[in-house]
Amino acid sequence: MKERLVIFDTTLRDGEQSPGASMTRDEKLRVARQLERMRVDVIEAGFAAASPGDFAAIRGIAEVIKDSTVCSLARANENDIRRAGEAIQPAPRKRIHTFIATSPIHMEKKLRMSPDEVVEAAVRAIRFAREYTDDVEFSAEDAGRSEIDFLCRVFEAVIKAGATTLNVPDTVGYMIPALWGERMRTLIERVPGADKVIWSTHCHNDLGMAVANSLAAVMAGARQVECTINGLGERAGNAALEEVVMAVKTRPDVFTVDTRIDTTQIVPASKLVSQITGYPVQPNKAIVGANAFAHESGIHQDGVLKHRETYEIMRAQDVGWAQNKLVLGKLSGRNAFKTRLAELGIELAGDEALNAAFARFKELADKKTEIFDEDLQALVSDEGVTAENEHYKLVYSHVCSETGETPLAQITLTVDGVERKAQSTGSGPVDATFRAIEQVAGSGAQLLLYSVNAITTGTDAQGEVTVRLAKDGRIVNGAGADTDIVIASAKSYLNALNKLRSSLERVNPQGV
């Protein structure tokens, strides 16, 4: 029997620290349900003390997730831990994950604490956390640049205090596999009581080695990997869950562990997270990229046709890739629509939300004859964000663009239900539309990103547009989908403006 490798997903916490990747409570719930469907062991749902919105999201996830452990991050202080304990209270399986920095530079420059004070704070934090749950994780932030003797001292102290999982984070992505594996091995050998806890690794991708470092730690004895869908995360991101899981599954000759992950749910999870956060997956991304199982070379094509394993070490269907499936059309009824949403793991809040989504489905079915699962995901996502806090809404748009002439956009918006009209020229139809919207909104926001992706194939495919706006230190993503790319662009810009106004959006906290 192989040992279990615990998969700890932090998409909803560390992944959300990517600029503009903040999720609403409903979006977090959708992702959490997909993670549970994928059989993730631990879902780090957020940082409860960061904001009331994050607390509410964690609490909501704790109320609905039954199979996975629900976890909240907390700094090593009483207030953070109490908030975390209260947030996860409804969960059948719950964990508090507390951390404090242990590297000389962090202790001196950030914490302004002595090593003795850090050890004392870590021990107190574990004792507070144990009041809420027996499942307590401790992280030594910036362990990659911490002194090994001090790490051993801290870890020994928190084991005695009752920590059950010890996480060794490469917070700044500084390590390389050989050194990281050796550090993990040394800690497990030297720390008294090491055999009584699960050792974990949490690697960032600043040098492009997060997955390699994580796997090196596993080979050295780590039995939990902290990772995110698509490698999402601040700076260069985190270790990608899909790459860690499939490496272990594909190379049983190397790894003496296995996971309980349902790998067929990997691609659906990837698409959902990409859609909600507005972070597209690069085509050549391992496992979940559009080209991950594509073969252009004639030699490769010939080999695959003769025997798949000549050039493929995994089967596409094992990670959830399949042909786009035509599921519904313009003649489909409300019950068929609702049933397919349930099959996709999409739950709408009541009949009113379902009716609104069904009306949008009918509108889409009049525009394109083939409705795919990806269309439904985009449609429901669009419905959710517009219903949440719709200060601005697009009522009418007319755009004129012709060769040799300056494009002109005329729009009508409602602002808290009151119609406002504007028109503007621009360097292109989208630019003119955005300028016209700004005449009404006057937000003064800076446009950081404009991205367009086709949701499915074909000339009648919906275009999914993401815009990223920044204002007063806040960064938000807006998303919109439509068969008309200019309409999709207007929707995404207005969605971002609505988020800028929403108290549910927040500046992301920093963590391990």
pLDDT band at 246 (very low <50, low <70, confident <90, very high): very high
Averaged pLDDT for residues 233-257: 96
Task: Please classify residue 344 by burial: count the beta carbons closer than 10 Å to its beta carbon, then call 0-12 exposed, 13-18 middle and 19+ buried.
Answer: middle
Share of the chain above pLDDT 90, in %: 64
pLDDT digits (tens, 9 = 90+) for 281-291: 888 999 998 88
CATH superfamily, domain 3-277, is Aldolase class I (3.20.20.70)
Give me the CATH code for the 389-501 domain, please: 3.30.160.270
Where are the chain's structural domains?
A: 3-277, 292-322, 326-385, 389-501
CA distances from 230 to 8, 239, 244, 383, 493 (A): 14, 8, 11, 24, 25
pLDDT band at 38 (very low <50, low <70, confident <90, very high): very high
Share of the chain above pLDDT 70, in %: 88
Confidence (pLDDT) at 372: 72
pTM, rounded to two decimals: 0.83
Averaged pLDDT for residues 148-172: 98
Fold matches, 3-277 and 389-501: no
Separation between Cα atoms, residue 2 and residue 283, nearest integer Å: 34
pLDDT band at 508 (very low <50, low <70, confident <90, very high): very low
* 3-state SS track over 354-418: HHHHHHHHHHHHHHCCCEEHHHHHHHHHHHHHHHHCCCEEEEEEEEECCCCCCCEEEEEEEECCE
Confidence (pLDDT) at 324: 46
Q: Per the structure block, which two tokens stand in for 144?
A: 């990659």
**Is the model's pLDDT at 308 over the cut of 60?**
no
Separation between Cα atoms, residue 234 and residue 232, nearest integer Å: 7
Beta strands in 19-154 (DSSP E): 42-47, 69-75, 94-101, 136-141
Confidence (pLDDT) at 512: 65
Contact by Cβ (8 Å): 216, 186:
no
Across the chain, mean pLDDT equals 88
Confidence (pLDDT) at 321: 79
**Is the model's pLDDT at 7 over the cut of 60?**
yes
Confidence (pLDDT) at 304: 44
**Is the model's pLDDT at 489 over the cut of 90?**
yes
Confidence (pLDDT) at 345: 67
Averaged pLDDT for residues 44-71: 96
